[in-house]
Amino acid sequence: MRKYGLFLALGSILSLIAAIGAAEGRGSIASERPYAAEHIDLLPVDIRHGLARLERPCGGKAAATHYFSTTIDVGGLHFRSLHFENFACERREAICRAERCLHEVYLERGGRSRRVFNAYVDDMKLINAGGTVGLELEGGRRAILRWNGRTFAPVHSFGKGQER
């Protein structure tokens, strides 16, 4: 009877260790697939169709990392930026020029997405510039653009807090 209790306790401990190890493995960052089709599948349909055209030049099914697509809502407008350095592409020349990769911005309205900006830059960030959507671009030199209702236009800065 005493042996039975010992085996039962040992079995419980081993089961607990195995369960903790399995849960830890599922929750770790290393086990997450960095490029996943889900990050494309969750995008609006017209953007997905545009990305499908890259499958052949890139050499595989469209997939991306979590940060491929970012959004911002400002002044009742919804913008989505795509960062192609986070897009799975075996032939990088299809989406990058030298070290600078394609970046696109879409305006989403009424269930439709319209591309309103694209550039090959090191990095691009959507910002809220005093109630207006803006873009910070890095690539050679830093540039700031502001949405004017139709397109993103350069902001000419003359010093701290002064713009034209």
pLDDT for res 19: 47
Phi-psi region of 144 (alpha: psi -120 to 50; beta: other; left: phi over 0): beta
In the Cβ-directed half-sphere of 117, how many Cα atoms lie within 13 Å? 30
Q: What is the 3-state secondary structure (H, E, C) of the chain?
A: CHHHHHHHHHHHHHHHHHHHHHHHHHHCHHHCCCCECHHHHCCCHHHHHHHHCCHHHHCCCCCECHHHEEEEEECCEEEEEEEHHHECCCCHHHCEECCEEEEEEEEEECCEEEEEEEEEECEEEEEECCCCEEEEEECCCCEEEEECCCCEEECCEEECCEEC
pLDDT in tens, 25-36: 444 444 467 889
Residue 23 has what pLDDT? 43
Write down the pTM of the prediction.
0.74
> What's the pLDDT at 30?
46
Residues 9, 146: Cα–Cα separation, whole Å: 66
Q: What is the pLDDT of residue 139?
A: 82
101: pLDDT strictly greater than 80: yes
Over residues 52-56, the mean pLDDT reads 91
Q: By C-alpha distance, which of 99, 101, 97, 98 is closest to 65?
A: 101
Percent of the chain exceeding pLDDT 70 equals 75
pLDDT digit string, tens, across residues 114-158: 999 999 999 999 999 889 999 999 987 889 999 999 999 998 654
- Portion of the chain with pLDDT greater than 90, in percent: 63
